[in-house]
Amino acid sequence: QQQVKQSPQSLIVQKGGISIINCAYENTAFDYFPWYQQFPGKGPALLIAIRPDVSEKKEGRFTISFNKSAKQFSLHIMDSQPGDSATYFCAATHFGNEKLTFGTGTRLTIIP
Amino acid sequence: NAGVMQNPRHLVRRRGQEARLRCSPMKGHSHVYWYRQLPEEGLKFMVYLQKENIIDESGMPKERFSAEFPKEGPSILRIQQVVRGDSAAYFCASSPPGTGLSHEQYFGPGTRLTVT
């Protein structure tokens, strides 16, 4: 049973464009939604995270949009750069259950 | 401040051998998590430990797998009698103590286990 669904599986965006990755969850108890960035051969790195009491969080070029009623959240990368090319994972967890449930990942490629 | 450390980075074992994976959490972190990543897949939770305690092992296979986080030293993930299906990247993460902060998990570089 996959509790966090992520799309698309792969994404190609031109340099300077906006990259958008979407996730949907089922468990309404989830109350923390992080995004991780992973480069080949490396461990996932925490990028940005949001709690459901806000609808948007922005850190630099990275923004999370959160829709509690739809049980969806998305990552937007503005002014995408070749260095952003990586695999991105959304995840979710809730207080009292510390394990992260991950989406299946999106392989992002930024082309010049 | 050193990050989460894992060793070895690469491990090759023949079927039937034992694999021991080590994880040293970030300084000040008392919570350790182990995840497994199969090729082209997301990470799957295995076990959550605090010093000398297993808090949640709901993701651990019932047989051959065990984990510990002793009072002194690194956390160990042990796989006995490895099979080809155990080939994967195993990631350790750590988080600081305290309500709410334990959600912020920081990952190590992983151990890539290959079973031949």
Tell me what pLDDT residue A37 has.
Answer: 96
Task: Report pLDDT for A79.
Answer: 98
User: Given an 8 Å threshold on Cβ–Cβ distance, is A100 in contact with B35?
Assistant: yes
The answer to whether residues A100 and B105 touch, using CB atoms and an 8 Å cutoff, is: yes
Question: A10-66, pLDDT tens digit by residue?
Answer: 999 999 999 999 999 999 989 899 999 999 988 999 999 999 889 999 999 999 999
**Residue B42 and residue A104 in contact, taking contact as beta carbons nearer than 8 Å:** yes
**Residues of chain B with C-beta less than 8 angstroms from the C-beta of A104:** 41-42
Tokens linked to B40: 């082209």
Residue type, B64: R
Q: Which residues does chain A have within 8 Å of residue B2's beta carbon, measured at their own beta carbons?
A: none
Q: Measure CB to CB from residue B107 to each of A44, A95, A103 and give the nearest one.
A: A44
pLDDT of residue A95: 76
Average pLDDT over residues B37-58: 90
Q: How far is A70 from chain B (nearest CA, A)?
A: 23
Q: How confident is the model at residue B99 (pLDDT cuts 50, 70, 90)?
A: low
Distances in Å between the alpha carbon of B87 and those of A71, B10, B19, B112, B115? 34, 11, 11, 8, 6
Distances (CA, A) of A19 to A40, A110, B108: 19, 9, 26
DSSP A41: T
Q: Is the peptide bond before B8 cis (omega within 30 degrees of 0)?
A: yes
CB-based contact (8 Å) between B96 and chain A?
Answer: no
**Integer-rounded Cα radius of gyration of chain B:** 13
Grouping H, G, I as helix, E, B as strand and the rest as coil, residue A30 is coil
